[in-house]
Structure 1
């Protein structure tokens, strides 16, 4: 149920259909230096998933990274009451049923600052995504910052991606249209690219296994 990516980083992919098209979704789990787990964009918590996660260590932090990736947070918070539960800005109002520990910004909290950096990509307020970087493995961890549907296993998904001009990893056409403050977006992408990630984990589509920094710069070169 969990796939090892690099040392101390695992992912779990699950099916997800959007407007009838299979786009998939993905959770990332990072083992922090103290042994606790950082769970990013949780997927449904079925018994096999819980067993696999518990085998890695205690869940320390549960993160809902953007306004669209929060559906299963309450289930995880109930299952792991000892864990902190963090929201991107605005989600605390959208999901009042969750007892949030904090609202995230550009500064990583003490829980994970020794291992994971973060940037709030606030230039796209429809998402308000907080993007993360695991320093030891040089892995960028995102939800909707970039998509990679052109490499999706589904032929229908690939065909639709091609028809809308999504032929390589990067933001979708809708995301491009919704960014109004390009100066702010350039600054935020500049900070993300400056991490020089080797790989990029994303929620929708295939993981970018190498050349992550170049992909980020190329994907947002239009800004």
Structure 2
């Protein structure tokens, strides 16, 4: 996903889903030979008004209207350098957007869109930013608190592609370990992005100890809603 879109192009995607109060998510698809690989955007309503967009995807107009009804987009979070595909066209559509990227990804993201900050400038007490521990390339994570519990939003560090569409996507998900049989760190992510597996494992165990953890949203695959803490501990154990 290193390309950068120059105009508003809508690829295949499903409906926006209300996953918690003021928290929407939508599954899109990357068209590839002999299949389609899933990707996901998450929209977070902010206490001060407006919304933050995590890993932007261009949507059809009725779905864009739903986002705008929740709150005008104010912040665009590009969680790592590989997720900049739609960033330029979102900034074109919403010029007032402030763009956030991890420190290690700033230069690559800036090739697509000007970066306003590499840390939390949102200032919403219900959102906690983190940079993934043990990652040699920058990657953000978020914890979003709601009355019913905490949602952990991750990007590439965990894959959960339970339903790849098409033989090409199925082979990619299985051979590269994108979580066909359950959440895991995909093989290419572990090889290219993680330089300290033990630090990452400690980070995952720390999140697993969150008392009110309700779900994990990942950028590639299905949300993890069945015992998310156990899923984090299992992935941590696989790292040694």
- Shorter chain as denominator, the TM-score bin is 0.7 to 0.9
Unaligned runs of 5+ in 1: none
Aligned residue in 2 for 1:98: 113
Residues in 1 aligned to 2:73 and 2:81: alpha-carbon distance in whole angstroms: 22
Determine if contact 2:36/2:164 at 8 Å carries over to the other structure.
Answer: no
Q: Of the candidates 118, 121, 124, which is equivalent to residue 129 of structure 2?
A: 118
Aligned residue in 1 for 2:10: none
Aligned residue in 1 for 2:4: none
Report matched runs for 1:37-76 at 5 Å.
Answer: 37-76=51-90
Deviation string 1:105-149 (CA, Å, 9 cap, x unpaired) is: xxx43x2440111221142224x2111111114111122121112
Count of paired positions = 217
Residues in 1 aligned to 2:202 and 2:143: alpha-carbon distance in whole angstroms: 17
Report matched runs for 1:182-193 at 5 Å.
Answer: 182-193=197-208
| Counterpart secondary structure, 2:188 | helix
Report matched runs for 1:96-175 at 5 Å.
Answer: 96-104=111-119, 108-109=120-121, 111-126=122-137, 128-136=138-146, 137-149=149-161, 151-152=162-163, 154=165, 156=167, 157-158=169-170, 161-163=173-175, 166=179, 167-175=181-189
Residues in 2 aligned to 1:118 and 1:143: alpha-carbon distance in whole angstroms: 13
1:16 to 1:117, Cα distance in 2 relative to 1, 3 A? same
1:169 to 1:103, Cα distance in 2 relative to 1, 3 A? same
The alpha-carbon deviation at position 45 of structure 1 amounts to 4.8
Residues in 2 aligned to 1:168 and 1:57: alpha-carbon distance in whole angstroms: 34
* Structure 1 residue 208 corresponds to structure 2 residue 219: no
1:138 to 1:19, Cα distance in 2 relative to 1, 3 A? farther
The alpha-carbon deviation at position 83 of structure 1 amounts to 2.6
Could you state the TM-score of these two structures normalised by the residue count of structure 2?
A: 0.80
Determine if contact 2:184/2:235 at 8 Å carries over to the other structure.
Answer: yes
Determine if contact 1:124/1:175 at 8 Å carries over to the other structure.
Answer: no
Deviation string 1:38-79 (CA, Å, 9 cap, x unpaired) is: 110000254333222111112121100112111111221222
Unaligned runs of 5+ in 2: 1-14
The alpha-carbon deviation at position 90 of structure 1 amounts to 3.2
The alpha-carbon deviation at position 193 of structure 1 amounts to 2.6
Could you state the TM-score of these two structures normalised by the residue count of structure 1?
A: 0.85
Residues in 1 aligned to 2:176 and 2:30: alpha-carbon distance in whole angstroms: 19
